[in-house]
Amino acid sequence: MMRKIFQVLCVMLLIVSILPKATMATAVKHDFQHVNELSTWLWDTARIVSESEEVIHNLVNEGVSDLYLQVNATIETAYYQQFISKASSNGIRVHALDGAPSWVAGQKGINEQQVFTDWLVNYQSVVSSDERFVGIHLDVEPYEHPNYEKNPNNYFKNYQTMIVQFEQIANTMGLEFGIDIPFWYYGVTYNNIYGKGNIAEFLSQHVKNISIMAYRDSANGSNGHDGINQIASAQMDLFEKYNVKGTIAVETGRLTDDSQYVTFYEEDKEYFYEQLDAVYQNYKNHPAFNGIAIHHYGSWMDMKAPKIPLSTWLWDTAKIVSEPDIVISNLVQHDVSDVYLQINEKVELPYYQYFINKAATNGIQVHALDGAPTWIAGQKGISQQEAFLEWLVNYQKAASPSERFVGIHLDVEPYQHPKYEERVNNFFKNYQAMVVTFREHADSMGMEFGLDIPFWYYGVMYNNVYGKGNIAEFLSNHVENIAIMAYRDSANGSNGNDGIIAISAAQMKIFEQHNVKTTIAVETGKLNDESKYLTFYEEGKDYLTSEVNKVYEHYKDHPAFNGMAIHYYDSWMDLK
């Protein structure tokens, strides 16, 4: 095997150059992205044929610097060339990945090694420098072979032979050489033609890039299991002694139920990245620490986004009569935590009781919703307010704790009243009086109090019996939960219009100063043609989700931010 390979490699030396290391091609979002190398495995090589642009986009977006791409000889060379060249231009270094337990099982394993090596030598010899792999990366785990227990010493001797040969091959080709090993190899001893010692130390003398498969679902341990930091430490210290570049690898793939502590599969990305940050902080000054590796690309990309605190409005109260279980199923499916349910006195109390109790058992809080522009128009408005409060007081008394509303939520927009322009000052004075009254009632009933406001209330001034200032600041002193109606169809703006993020900023700053829990609301209902930029009605559910996630990412660490709200249930569920 070796003679044939080296004949070809001698020719290769004339044309192969070592590629310089590229830099990470994305802005740092998390502590762990400060690592020298952030790597991942791509086992499903067919993706470079069917979705190469998407793969590279995702790698760049996540800050990946190194990709271990499994070699699949059935895929045409041109696809590798295009993919590696594009990856390289985006600062991503691609390593030729392969390996299986059978590679250390006698002649069959030697043949499999040679097939891989022949393919790689031929590939590297016919492509340009920007299309070449920068390294060889092997994932060969002898202990996974079904016959391992019968003769572990022989399997490890074959493994060591393979390592020595690939070290020579990589050096001759001018390629880096890396491997994956479990965290416990420092405890596996050998005594054979290679001397005696532990496998981790042997590997440290032949391989300069080693990924420790420190597979746990916590940086520092949980439920009686040591964490990533603890199980990686012994071999990291060994790597320091031998100047090995050590990468700490974690698992995101789905495993059996009794192995859930080994993978982040069931966790969301936010928790996952918090744990990687903790690993980085623990090892960032360790001389052997070279980076973090995430196994593997497919399962990593499929990880759940963090749950966004999400609320919605249910105006069509009749739905809790005709289809309560469907409504709750939809709310659960869409991860809704709070629903604002309009009060309709014609709906009998048992329907509210059933719906609220069922919602509560599914982790959904229900708030009593009502309001109209007429609520701030003289005695008629006061009567409407009183009718709502009377109904609510009676309902709360009649219901058991699990059947009660948790809060009052008002949607009263004075500027929608037909006589607003004529009576603006009086309407806002009445509005302020209403807010003060409802806050008192909410407190006396032990309920939260929230309301909806447009994004521009910080610019509406008042000067009356309540003093003077802007309405947004007044509300900050009387309301604990405010939903900003930041109605735009883009997180960052489009077609000359500011986006959701920008139009929310001024009031988010005010609400931070007053410790107000703030929800940013978006619209999905059908509006007239000139108002299309205010709603996601035409864009559809996937686009809505994408933009909501962008807003969440922007504001998630803002002290006032308490989640997103989607107006309203029916139009949201109808989105395509």
One DSSP character per residue, 213-267 reads E---SSSS-BTTB--HHHHHHHHHHHHHHTT-EEEEEEE-S---GGGGGG--TTS
481 closest CA partner among 432, 516, 439: 516
| 353 contacts 399 by C-beta, under 8 angstroms | yes
Supply angle C-alpha 274, 276, 281, rounded to 5: 95
Pair of tokens at residue 145: 């072979």
Strand partners, 210: 179, 246
Q: What percent of the chain has pLDDT over 90?
A: 89
Q: What is the CATH number of domain 1-12+37-194?
A: 3.20.20.80
Quick count: other Cβ atoms within 10 Å of Cβ 521?
A: 26
The pLDDT-based confidence of 15 (bands split at 50, 70, 90) is very low
What's the Cα-to-Cα distance from 81 to each of 55, 69, 125, rounded to whole Å?
Answer: 15, 12, 12
pLDDT at residue 72 tops 90: yes
Domain 310-574: CATH architecture, name and number where available? Alpha-Beta Barrel (3.20)
Calpha distance 11→496 (Å, rounded): 59
| 559 contacts 512 by C-beta, under 8 angstroms | yes
pLDDT at residue 8 tops 60: no
Domain boundaries, the chain: 1-12+37-194, 208-293, 310-574
Contacts of 240 (CB under 8 A, 6+ apart): 286, 287, 288
Calpha distance 466→468 (Å, rounded): 7
pLDDT at residue 234 tops 90: yes
| DSSP letter string, 317-341 | TTHHHH-HHHHHHHHHHTT--EEEE
Query: pLDDT digits over 329-356, tens only?
Result: 999 999 999 999 999 999 999 999 999 9
Query: pLDDT digits over 375-429, tens only?
Result: 999 999 999 999 999 999 999 999 999 999 999 999 999 999 999 999 999 999 9
Quick count: other Cβ atoms within 10 Å of Cβ 497?
A: 13
Three-state DSSP class for residue 417: coil
Tally: H helices and E strands in the chain: 19, 20
Average pLDDT, stretch 85-90? 98
Query: pLDDT digits over 443-489, tens only?
Result: 999 999 999 999 999 999 999 999 999 999 999 999 999 999 999 99
pLDDT at residue 26 tops 80: no
Pair of tokens at residue 304: 């759940």
Q: What integer best gives the mean pLDDT of the chain?
A: 94
Look at the block and give the residue holding tokens 């004949």: 7
335 closest CA partner among 358, 317, 312: 312
User: Are β-strands 481-485 and 517-523 bridged in parallel, bridged antiparallel, or unpaired?
Assistant: parallel
